Structure 1
Amino acid sequence: MGNKHAKHVSTELTDKQIASLKAITRYTEKEIREWYEGFIRDCPNGKLDKKKFIEVFKQFYPHGKPEKFCKYAFDTFDTNNDGTVSFEEFLVAYSVARSGNLDARLDLVFDVYDISHDGLIDQEELTKMIIALYDLLGNTNRKGDHDPKKRAAQILTKLDVNQDKKITKEEFINGCKSDPFLRQLLDPNS
């Protein structure tokens, strides 16, 4: 944004890309093209970097500090681990986060929370994510029941069905689906 020396990507979306995105996101071709135009306007090189990703989140959460949350979310959106988020990666993740079915949204939320990418969430990861969410939302009340470590321990106890001190994706999704309060806490978009 505003960088006169940024390389502009002149390529258009191919019919194959549009067909794939339509199938995955359920957006129309017109909507996909509109998203693409906005994406290229904001990211002329066709790639969203972490700095720009944080800028976008700051617009949605002007009273919060999105840096920590964005680091974890960015790593999840960057599915090919190249340090940037392509238009396709962005639109697929955004579509799931905003309009995917509950299982798909919770699957994505789990992936964000699974900081180590080992298929499990432990208490340390959960604590880090709760702190990141509090920061994102501008929540400064972290005492008593709102203490991130205490909250993480409570959630772990509730979701960890096999009591191995780690939450699997299945435990996470099933637990969130059966507990509306927990679902709202862990997936504010639900």
Structure 2
Amino acid sequence: MGNKQNKTNSTELTPKHISLLKANTKYSEKEIREWHAGFLRDCPSGKLDKKKFVEVYKQFYPNGKADNFCKFAFDTFDANNDGSIDFEEFLLAISATSQGDIDDRLAVAFDMYDISDDGQIDQKELTKLLTAMYDLVGETDRKGDKDPKHRAQEIIAKLDVSGDKKLSKQEFIAGCKNDPVIRKLLVPNV
């Protein structure tokens, strides 16, 4: 506030940024400022890099291995692909995963699972994500029904309406909404 510089830096929260974030989230200006202060406490440069992102996740999942899962999550949230997450990307990601309606939140999960960015999730992608999720929560028993490859096969067989052995965004969202067991596995916070 009161800073009349023409050039903005990555730690500044301008009225334009606040307006943009208010328009794209359900946060009030006060909440946006609180999130921003916390973000800068953790990331004084105004940028969250992959290493710090993994550190944060490790605090939430101390018994798991966060590295693989974080790679997928980080790449999803780094919207401009510059190798870091700035405050706008951070708050929009937090909002989409915590404030959005179920369709919005499932869409974000789909985007993270669609590693190849081709608009489809195939068995290989789903297996990688399930493995990363097991690592994250410290799940070591991966035999039988818990085998990620077997689990991915089952999920795709159950949700794949078109029969192409892949999941479109619509199939993923509809399937997760209609099957609470699969939803809890693939999108635990929804």
CA drift at 1:181: 1.0
- Give distance in 2, aligned partners of 1:178 and 1:188: 14
CA drift at 1:10: 7.6
- Give distance in 1, aligned partners of 2:99 and 2:140: 29
* Stretches (4+) displaced over 2 A: 9-12
Could you say if the C-alpha distance between residues 146 and 79 of structure 1 is closer, same or farther in structure 2, counting changes exceeding 3 Å? same
CA drift at 1:20: 1.2
Q: What TM-score results when the alignment is normalised by the length of structure 2? A: 0.93
Could you say if the C-alpha distance between residues 168 and 10 of structure 1 is closer, same or farther in structure 2, counting changes exceeding 3 Å? closer
| Alignment: residue pair count | 182
Name the counterpart of 1:166.
166
Q: Counterpart amino acid of 2:62?
A: P
* Residue pairs, 1:174-185, within 5 angstroms: 174-185=174-185
* Residue pairs, 1:22-41, within 5 angstroms: 22-41=22-41
Could you say if the C-alpha distance between residues 38 and 144 of structure 1 is closer, same or farther in structure 2, counting changes exceeding 3 Å? same
- Secondary structure (helix, strand or coil) at the match of 2:63 reads coil
- Secondary structure (helix, strand or coil) at the match of 2:140 reads coil
- Give distance in 2, aligned partners of 1:124 and 1:159: 16
Gaps in structure 1 of 5+ consecutive residues: 1-8
Identity percentage over the alignment? 65
Q: What TM-score results when the alignment is normalised by the length of structure 1? A: 0.93
- Give distance in 2, aligned partners of 1:187 and 1:18: 29
Name the counterpart of 1:6.
none
- Give distance in 2, aligned partners of 1:173 and 1:10: 35
- Secondary structure (helix, strand or coil) at the match of 2:167 reads strand
- Give distance in 1, aligned partners of 2:103 and 2:127: 23
Q: Counterpart amino acid of 2:134?
A: Y
- Give distance in 1, aligned partners of 2:183 and 2:27: 26
State yes or no: 1:130 paired with 2:125: no
CA drift at 1:180: 1.0
Per-residue CA deviations over 1:29-67 (Å, capped at 9, x if unaligned) read 111111111111111111110000000101111111110
- Give distance in 1, aligned partners of 2:98 and 2:66: 18
Q: Counterpart amino acid of 2:61?
A: Y
Name the counterpart of 2:45.
45
Q: Counterpart amino acid of 2:98?
A: R
- Give distance in 1, aligned partners of 2:59 and 2:91: 18
- Secondary structure (helix, strand or coil) at the match of 1:48 reads strand
Q: Is the 8 A contact 2:111 2:117 kept in 1?
A: yes
- Secondary structure (helix, strand or coil) at the match of 1:165 reads coil
- Give distance in 2, aligned partners of 1:102 and 1:169: 13
- Give distance in 1, aligned partners of 2:50 and 2:110: 20
- Give distance in 1, aligned partners of 2:99 and 2:185: 18
Gaps in structure 2 of 5+ consecutive residues: 1-8
- Give distance in 1, aligned partners of 2:10 and 2:122: 44
Name the counterpart of 2:82.
82
- Give distance in 2, aligned partners of 1:97 and 1:154: 25
CA drift at 1:159: 1.2
Which has the higher mean CA deviation after the structures are superposed, 174-183 or 66-75?
Answer: 174-183
Per-residue CA deviations over 1:135-181 (Å, capped at 9, x if unaligned) read 01111110010000000000010111111111110110011111111
- Give distance in 2, aligned partners of 1:126 and 1:174: 17
